[in-house]
Amino acid sequence: MEKVIKVCRENLAVIVLLFLLLGFGVWNLTHKAQIKSVPVATSTVVQKKTAPKKELTNKGLVIDIQGAVNNPGVYHLRNGAIVQEAIKLSGGLVENADAKQINQAQKVTDQMQIIVPRVGEPSSSTSNGGADIKKQVNINTAKVEDFQSVTGIGPKKAEKIIAFREQNGNFKELKDLTKVSGIGDKTLESLKDQLTV
């Protein structure tokens, strides 16, 4: 027994080193087990970060309804909404509204302005849900302010159209408008009666 104690005293540094190495080995194994569980938590975080993109794709429409409605103003509607829904949202028609002049079944487009006439007021085009339509706007010569009369084109879209025209030359046909960012086939379909080349 005395020999064992003597050997232990002489080799104390080696024994301490062995215990330290053993402790480090146990700690390292435990640490690796914790690292392996991290990717599960990371993938959950990634899913949470990507979820809002769905909300962005379901973005609704913004419309301006004026004229013979109880609460004229700017309203948000879901995609695929019709003029009748916009009228309900604005508090419904007033007593002297001329509902025969508007197409309440027409689909609403983004940035559309709906003007509901009163009985006796000049007839508005029903092809745009009662929106006032002036002469067709030439997309090759129009300025930003000229696009104000076009339902569905706000100042930002007008600037994009003009910038595209200045970079690429005049449009040869209305279909070329789909090359402008933010204007697709559906948007073009709703604009084609108001525009010309």
**More confident call, 11 vs 68:** 68
Local structure of 76: helix, strand or coil: strand
Strands (E), the chain: 61-67, 73-77, 113-116, 137-138, 195-196
Chain CA centroid to CA 118, Å: 35
**What is the rounded distance in angstroms from the CA atom of residue 71 to the CA atom of residue 89?**
8
DSSP string across 115-169: EEPBTTSPPPPGGGTT----SPEETTT--GGGGGGSTT--HHHHHHHHHHHHHH-
66-113 residue pLDDT tens: 888 999 888 999 988 999 999 999 999 999 988 888 888 888 888 888
Amino acid at 65: I
25-47 residue pLDDT tens: 767 766 665 555 444 444 444 44
Contact 141/176 with Cβ under 8 angstroms? no
Take residue 78 and report the two structure tokens written for it.
């879901």
pLDDT at 21 over 70: yes
pTM: 0.38
pLDDT at 58 over 80: no
Contact 180/160 with Cβ under 8 angstroms? yes
149-179 residue pLDDT tens: 888 888 888 899 999 999 998 988 888 888 9
**What is the rounded distance in angstroms from the CA atom of residue 90 to the CA atom of residue 95?**
14
